[in-house]
Amino acid sequence: MERLSDRSSVVVANPEIEYPLVDAILSMGLRSERKDVIVRYDDLTLPNEVDGQASFPIYIAIPPWQLASFLDNLPPSWMERCDDFVYFSGGLCGVIEPVLRKRGMARDATTQVDVHGFTMPGKGQAPQDLSANFGLDAQGENKYTGETGACGKWCGAIAERLENNFIRCRTGFYREWRRWMWEMAAYDVVFNLVGSVRGEPTNHKQVALYYEEEASDMLWQIANNLRGYLAVTLPYGFEERVYEYAGRNGEDMPCHLSTAWYEFTIEPFENSQMVCEYVTYAQQECGWLPDMQLKDSVSRFVLKESKQRQGNLRSDGVI
């Protein structure tokens, strides 16, 4: 696949919602003197050229719960440019594969980006790299965690923009990218669920340090289900990478559950019994997701009290 260079682009955004992804895209473009154009998601006046070029990426930088409606109401002039769309997954962008797959847009040419590899500090602040080298593998190659990943037509442009901002970005074909994306999607659901059911506020780093056994059991159950349901095999060493990522970056990541984000974080993993058990417990015993009606297939699983949950697993003395 031809590796296209970064250039001035269109950024589709909803200005009525504070969404840090938009600021991250624009600030990274400014470093390279790009003249990105913002288009309202409900206006859809697509320019013929951007900075003198007729070929350019179109960043779909809207919250995941608005994505389906946006795609279903696109005019023909936009659908002709659908191969130029750039979608974002992971973290605050959630899992959007079901939305794209239903509309025939989850394919090799589609550009997708996993955003776990950089911070989104907000307007006026440049994103920072979250990836890290944590040693050598059996073949003597460097092992990395937290790398941003991109695939599709504009993956080269994405990598160039990120690398100009000192952020690592690996590129690959769609099949490889799916494995990277689902690995970090599993991280999101496991660490938030395991940490949210504690009696005290807990962050991702504390889950990695003190609740490793519970998180590991859930990770492996999810990995087995992904292989059976979606034909996705997580890359070798996934468990080591997600714990390393949480240990390095998780102190500023409080564990939480959100009704608005449920469809794009937890719902893709409802075929995991442990996920269902923890979601049910989090709602019934911990007060999370108060206004949400869980599916019968989820709420029928009840988390049993274990010695692990009752005991003191934290070295800081917190029960």
Predicted confidence (pLDDT) per residue in 177-216, tens digit: 999 999 999 999 999 999 999 999 999 999 999 999 999 9
Specify the pLDDT at position 1: 67
Report if residue 116 sits inside a domain.
Answer: yes
Q: Is the pTM of this model over 0.85?
A: yes
Report if residue 319 sits inside a domain.
Answer: no
Reply yes or no on whether the pLDDT at 307 is more than 50: no
Examine the domain organization and report whether 145 and 190 are in the same domain: no
Examine the domain organization and report whether 113 and 241 are in the same domain: no
At 44, which CATH number? Answer: 3.40.50
Examine the domain organization and report whether 165 and 224 are in the same domain: no
Picking from 109, 143, 172, the residue at the C-terminal end of a domain is 172
Examine the domain organization and report whether 19 and 142 are in the same domain: yes
Report if residue 105 sits inside a domain.
Answer: yes
Burial level of 33, CB count in 10 A (0-12/13-18/19+)? Answer: exposed
Examine the domain organization and report whether 29 and 158 are in the same domain: yes
Categorize the per-residue pLDDT at 141 as very low, low, confident or very high, splitting at 50, 70 and 90.
confident
Examine the domain organization and report whether 61 and 209 are in the same domain: no
Specify the pLDDT at position 308: 46
Examine the domain organization and report whether 135 and 40 are in the same domain: yes
How much is the mean pLDDT over the chain?
A: 91
Mean pLDDT on 239-257: 95
Categorize the per-residue pLDDT at 148 as very low, low, confident or very high, splitting at 50, 70 and 90.
very high
- pLDDT tens digit sequence for 21-48: 999 999 999 877 889 999 999 888 899 9
Examine the domain organization and report whether 147 and 189 are in the same domain: no
Report if residue 3 sits inside a domain.
Answer: no
Examine the domain organization and report whether 239 and 109 are in the same domain: no
Examine the domain organization and report whether 166 and 207 are in the same domain: no
Picking from 172, 198, 215, the residue at the C-terminal end of a domain is 172
Report if residue 316 sits inside a domain.
Answer: no
Give the range of the structural domain holding residue 14, as residue numbers without chain letter.
Answer: 10-172
What percentage of the chain carries pLDDT values higher than 90? 79
Domain count, the chain: 2
Reply yes or no on whether the pLDDT at 315 is more than 70: no
Picking from 143, 172, 201, the residue at the C-terminal end of a domain is 172
Report if residue 151 sits inside a domain.
Answer: yes
Identity (one letter) of the amino acid at 154? W
Categorize the per-residue pLDDT at 303 as very low, low, confident or very high, splitting at 50, 70 and 90.
confident
Specify the pLDDT at position 259: 94
Examine the domain organization and report whether 21 and 113 are in the same domain: yes
Report if residue 250 sits inside a domain.
Answer: yes
In 3D, which of 88, 269, 120, 134 has the Cα closest to residue 194?
Answer: 269
Report if residue 202 sits inside a domain.
Answer: yes
Categorize the per-residue pLDDT at 311 as very low, low, confident or very high, splitting at 50, 70 and 90.
very low
Examine the domain organization and report whether 29 and 86 are in the same domain: yes
Cβ burial 38-72 (10 Å sphere, 16+ → b, else e)? ebebeeeebeeebeeeeebbbbbbbbbeebbebbe
Mean pLDDT on 229-244: 94
Structure tokens at 190: 């496991």
User: Which residues does 249 contact at the CB level (< 8 Å), separation at least 6?
Assistant: 130, 146, 204, 205
Reply yes or no on whether the pLDDT at 135 is more than 50: yes
What percentage of the chain carries pLDDT values higher than 70? 95
Reply yes or no on whether the pLDDT at 97 is more than 80: yes
User: Which residues does 60 contact at the CB level (< 8 Å), separation at least 6?
Assistant: 12, 67, 70, 85, 86, 87, 88
Categorize the per-residue pLDDT at 305 as very low, low, confident or very high, splitting at 50, 70 and 90.
low
